[in-house]
Amino acid sequence: MEGIYRFSFGPWNIHEGADPFGPAVRRSMKLSEKLDLYKKLGFDGVQFHDDDAVPDMNNLSPGQIIDQAKQLRNILDDHGLAAEFVAPRLWEDERTIDGGYTSNDKACRDYALDRSKRAIDIANALGIDLLVLWLAREGTYIRESKDSKLAVERLTGSINQMLLYDSKIRICIEPKPNEPMDHAFIPTAGHAVALAQLCIDPDRVGVNIESAHAILAGLDPSDEMGFALAFNKLWTVHLNDQNGLKFDQDKSFASVDIRRAFNQVRILDKYGYGNKGEWVGLDVKAMRSQKFDVSTKHLTNSRKNFLKLLELSRSLDEEKVEELIAGRDYEELDNLILSHLLA
Ligand code: GLO
Ligand code: MG
């Protein structure tokens, strides 16, 4: 079964270019300006942090948060856009300096859970059932600062509370091995899938594979996708690219390694990604050097690269591939793939 592709990104993917060593270099765009761009860039879906959807939500009551999210839903409808997921942004608050769900401080853990419930309320108001957890600070700067068994229990306990809070919500874990922490507790798809099995409703806990995060873990992103697919848990993806083991680069999809990108498209298409409504999310960042009026090209280029690789995937001589696999002539298989990509 072939895939069906609709593309999404988050408002944070159009950004001002600040990095840890220098300030913003482009003016910021209001959410309304960004929403006006989505369709023009070829995108139909919007991924949201909870406070992208409802700014300043820590100072609003649960009722006010829901009202604002409902207003946003109307705005999305007017633009012909759909929300894809909501992700609680737990890494910026002073109460999550040392993590949220795995913080050593109970008051901080309570805050993280409460904020996650508000994010679920926002998802409901936007008419969607997907909550993404990028577990940014759920890890350690030094090994001795947290108990890793307890951390897993605390993560499970928090996710269980979310599953109980809303009987429809699906929780999608976005694994990443490091950054901002030295070591993250859920670094790979395998960890995320295993964590799901510990939860009270494993069928409602899935995975978001980000290409760069897999590469940072020293893994092939298409293998991470295949692993999640085998468990029916690949509920969204964050496609991008990454030049080796350094800071998380969020480069345009396929811009570093075309073959690695090809294999991601190929496995998605082979297993009918998108047929159950999954989106192709692009978690890409413009280079800091990019001027304002050309600061969305990373998005259009990533989407274009995906579609070109899809054509290449569909035009690969699969019979020849099978024949070479049967003959164990992997040198010729290697050459076939390279010739196809270079043609
Ligand atoms: C950072 C993550 C981040 C998340 C986003 C959604 O490394 O990739 O961009 O995907 O915050 O939770
Ligand atoms: Mg991501």
Q: What are the distances in angstroms from CA 131 to CA 14, 287, 338?
A: 21, 28, 38
- The verdict on pTM exceeding 0.85 is yes
Query: Measured between alpha carbons, how far is 153 from 117 in angstroms, rounded to an integer?
Result: 19
Q: For residue 330, is it within any domain?
A: no
49 pLDDT more than 90: yes
Q: CB of 174 closer than 6 A to ligand 1? A: yes
pLDDT of residue 42: 98
- pLDDT (tens digit, 9 = 90+) per residue, 133-142? 999 999 999 9
Work out the average pLDDT over 12-18.
Answer: 98
Per-residue pLDDT of 158-216, as tens digits, reads 999 999 999 999 999 999 999 999 999 999 999 999 999 999 999 999 999 999 999 99
Mean pLDDT over residues 293-307, rounded? Answer: 98
Pocket test for ligand 1, best of 215, 238, 239, 248 (most atoms within 8 A of CB): 238
Q: Which CATH number is 85's domain given?
A: 3.20.20.150
- SS3 string, 3-25, reads CCCCEEECHHHCCCCCECCECCC
The reply to whether ligand 1 has any atom less than 6 angstroms from the CB of 248 is yes
Closest ligand 1 atom, residue 47 Cα: 6
pLDDT in tens, 141-155: 999 999 999 999 999
Known active-site residue 77? no
**Using CA atoms, how far apart are residues 294 and 102, in angstroms rounded to an integer?**
40
Q: Has residue 212 been placed in a domain?
A: yes
Instruction: Give how many domains the chain has, as a whole number.
Output: 1
Is 329 annotated as catalytic? no
- Is 90 exceeded by the pLDDT of residue 1? no
Q: Specify if 323 maps to a domain.
A: no
What percent of the chain is modeled with pLDDT above 70?
100
Is 341 inside any structural domain?
Answer: no
Decide: helix, strand or coil at residue 83: strand
pLDDT in tens, 82-114: 999 999 999 999 999 999 999 999 999 999 999
Residue 324 lies in a domain: no
Of the candidates 225, 221, 250, the one whose C-alpha atom is nearest the C-alpha of residue 235 is: 225
80, part of any domain: yes
Give the structural domain span for 108.
7-317
Residue 335 included in any domain: no
138 lines ligand 1 (CB under 6 A): no
- Over range 56-80, report the average pLDDT: 98
